[in-house]
Structure formats: structure tokens, C-alpha cells
Amino acid sequence: MDATTYDLVVLLIAVLVIIVLSIKFHIHAFISLLTACFLIAFATGMPLESIGNSIQKGIGGTLGFLAPILALGAIVGKMMEISGGAEKLADTLIDIIGKNRAAWAMMIVAYICGIPVFLQVGIVLLTPILFCIVLESKQPLIKVALSMAVALTVVHCIIPPHPAAMAITLTLGANVGKVIFYGLLVGLPATIIAGPLYGGWVAKHYPVEMPEKYADVKPTPRDQLPPFGITLFTILLPLLLMIGKTIIEMYANKDASFMPIVNFIGNPLTALFIAAILAYYALGIRRGYTLVELAKSTDNAMGPMATIILVIGAAGAFNGVILDSGIGEVLKEVLTTISISPLIMAWVIAIIMRFSIGSATVAMMTSAGFIMPVLTAMPNLDPALVAVAIGAGAIGASQVTDPGFWFVKEAMSIPMNRMFITYSAATTIAAVVGLVGVMTLAAFVG
């Protein structure tokens, strides 16, 4: 076989190795990805002395900027959890829009609260609130539950500072503010259609009963919850700062005297640091927590990040080895000859990897490695659109290979025979709507 075919076969085998090790043998994704790195390196004849350097560079380049951002985001999420901020948002929104629209309120709460926290953490945080709302509003459980779960999944995949979304944003060299703005524009209609609207249809045809263990759940007294305004402001502050920087850059002279300040404050690291300090004060100290208690909460917030950081780092190494081995050039030549939009291509790769591997994070990072060489051949293609397209693809096809699938099932007590028509179908609908949104957006800004 010729060199191009050989390199593509090597890449295919490497991807299959990741899938088989992760699913069949239950090997941790970190080890599976590193195994694929060494396979590609040896099969393509990379010099032995450069293999370790390539992996190290891939991990370091991915995590050097990302790790502190993830840590700061985790702190904001933890402060929101211990303060009862999420419950306050839910109570206020239901008061505003009415109990008969509880699913919409839960969708908005999950969409906002999901910004600084991992998917699993968001589910743990919001599930007790979900059952309180269902009992109080008398709305169908699956309609409200899907609205929450889809919102958390969408935000998890397409809006920085979420780990995978931020990682592919940095990998592709995209503007963070643009990715947030585009992600919000694309993600909201996807969440509405796959959440309250599809959830309403499912509730009529495939209802799910309220589990007995949640039948007597009681809400937190309102006088023990933080103020609505400061809670919402704390969560949205980093996004406002990052998007604000992007907007100012679009209209202001880049040599203006105030631009260094704008660039500093709008930097993701600075924006999240400011939000974390505000969260410590407004949702921690002001709520009666001591510095010792906040330190313990910070330690608890950091623990779950170890695995996600390792996986993202290993995926960065995988992408680095693809480029350093020469397979990146082969991918660029092959993919640029295919007469299909690179945005559709990125979406298709992401949803296939998501279905195969399960983990949205691994799917997004490996998809970025596939599509990144194409960007060098298409300098006019906005990498922010590519990042959102990859994220949209990774939303869909959640099924038994996805740890989040089982987490949703157990947390919300959804029977297995209902999971595919509810959560799996809803995530896939959101992914398709997301692709339509990306293509529509590209027609105006691409």
C-alpha cells in the first residue's frame, strides 16, 4: 500500500485501540490514549528520542493554560453548591415564569449553573432541586428532567470554560469570547428543542414515575439562600468579561491605550480568578462560612478534576503525535479534497467518536486532532465555528458507552427501557439542531 493509505490505516487502528481498550477492557482513557500515541509513533517510524518529547509537548501545551482555568471554574461551582445558589435561581425563575413552565425554568437554571461545573457535578447539584420542583409544580418528571439534563450536556460540550470546550478552543487557536458567544447562540435553540419541547412530547407517550425516595424531598427555606442577583452575576461574570473583550476588540483600535487593560481582564485566567474571588466572598464568607471551611470546600472541588485533566492532557498528546508523525499532513491532504463543508466534517467526526468512545471530552479532543490540519489549509475558516461544530457533534449519541448516560439514569431514576427514547434521543436531537445552528451562523459570519 502507498504511504498515504498506510498512515490512514495506522490512524484508524490507533482510534480502534482507544475504543477497544476503553470499552472492552475498561482501561482508563488516559492509558488508552497514551497507548495510541506510542502505536502511532512506532508505526510511523518517529525517532525514539522525539517520541517522549512529542507526548510531553502535547500534554504541556494543552494543560499549561487549561489546568488553572479548570481549577478556578471548579471553585466557582463549589461555592454555588454550598451556598444554595442553584436553588435560589430555580425559585426565582419559577416565581417569574410560573409553575406551569417549570421545565423551562429548570432548563434556564441548568444552562446557567452548568457553565462553571462538570456535567456530573451539575446533575448532583440540581437533581434534588429537580424533584422539589416536580413535586411543587405537578409537571411531568421526564419533561423537567430532560430539560435539565440536555441543558447541562449542551453547555458541557460547547461553552468554555468547560474543560473539553476550552481545550478544543485552545487547541484550534480560536478566540475564547467568540466560542462562548457562538456557543450560546447555537446551544440555546438546541436545548429548547431537545429539552422542554421534545421532553413535553416524551412525557405524553413515555412517562416516568416519581421515585419513592424523592417523594418527601423538601426545599431549603428561602431565607437561607443567597440573593438572586449576586448569585447570577457571580456565575456569569467570567463569560461577560471574556465576551466583552471580544466585542471591544471588534470595534476598538487595537493600539488604544486601554486595550492592555481590556486584554488582561478579558483573559480567561484573569476573568475566572476574579469570579472565584467574588464567589469566595459573596457565596462563601457572606453566607457565614469560615476561611477554614472554604479551604476544605476548595480541596473537595479539586479532587474530581484530576481524571479530567489527565484525559485532556493525554488527548493533547495524541493530537501532538498525529501532527509530529506526519499523519497530520496526510489528513490535511485527504480531508481538503473531500467536497464537504469542514464544519459538517468536524461535526460528523465528533458524533461518531462520541458514539464509539462515549466520553464527550475524549471525542472532542480526538476530533480536534483530526480537523486541526484542515485549518492550516483554510485560513479563512473561523476556528471558533469549528470548535462549536465539534462540540455540537459531541452532544449527540449518548448511550451505554457514555458514563454520563448511566449517571443521568441513576440520578434521575429513569428506567433503562426509557433512557434511549429520552436522553439518547434528546442529545442526538440537540446535536442535529446544533449543526443547523452552526451552518446558519457560518452563513452570516463565516
383-435: pLDDT as tens digits? 999 999 999 999 998 887 677 787 778 777 778 778 889 889 999 999 999 99
pLDDT, tens digit (0-9, with 9 covering 90-100), for 44-86: 999 988 999 999 988 887 777 777 877 887 788 788 778 878 7
Q: What is the CA radius of gyration of the chain?
A: 22
CA nearest 185: which of 364, 423, 391, 398? Answer: 391
CA distance 55 to 47: 13
Domain count, the chain: 1
- The per-residue pLDDT for 280 is 92
- The per-residue pLDDT for 277 is 93
Q: What range defines the domain where residue 390 resides? A: 3-445
What phi and psi, each to the nearest 5 degrees, are found at residue 189?
-65, -35
Q: Say if residues 331 and 373 touch (Cβ distance below 8 Å).
A: yes
Three state DSSP letters for the chain: CCHHHHHHHHHHHHHHHHHHHHHCCCCCHHHHHHHHHHHHHHHCCCCHHHHHHHHHHHHHHHHHHHHHHHHHHHHHHHHHHHHCHHHHHHHHHHHHHCHHHHHHHHHHHHHHHCCCCCHHHHHHHHHHHHHHHHHHHCCCHHHHHHHHHHHHHHHHHHCCCCHHHHHHHHHHCCCHHHHHHHHHHHHHHHHHHHHHHHHHHHHHHCCCCCCHHHCCCCCCCHHHCCCHHHHHHHHHHHHHHHHHHHHHHHHCCCCCCCHHHHHHHHCHHHHHHHHHHHHHHHHHHHHCCCHHHHHHHHHHHHCCHHHHHHHHHHHHHHHHHHHHCCHHHHHHHHHHHCCCCHHHHHHHHHHHHHHHHCCHHHHHHHHHHHHHHHHHHCCCCCHHHHHHHHHHHHHCCCCCCCHHHHHHHHHHCCCHHHHHHHHHHHHHHHHHHHHHHHHHHHHHHC
- For 281-305, letters b (16+ CB in 10 Å) and e give ebbbeebebeeeebeebbeebeeeb
- Cell readout for 152 is 447541562
Would the CA dihedral through 338, 339, 343, 347 be positive or negative?
A: negative
CA distance 355 to 398: 6
CA distance 74 to 204: 37
- The per-residue pLDDT for 190 is 96
pLDDT under 50 in the chain at which residues? none
Q: How many Cβ atoms are within 10 Å of 150's Cβ, its own excluded? A: 31
CA distance 125 to 136: 18
One-letter amino acid at 343 equals L
User: Which residue is listed with cell 497530520?
Assistant: 328
Non-local (6+) Cβ contacts of 227 within 8 A are: 88
- The per-residue pLDDT for 336 is 66
Q: How many Cβ atoms are within 10 Å of 375's Cβ, its own excluded? A: 19
User: Which residue is listed with cell 512506532?
Assistant: 42
pLDDT, tens digit (0-9, with 9 covering 90-100), for 154-167: 998 998 877 778 88
Non-local (6+) Cβ contacts of 67 within 8 A are: 309
Q: How many Cβ atoms are within 10 Å of 413's Cβ, its own excluded? A: 17
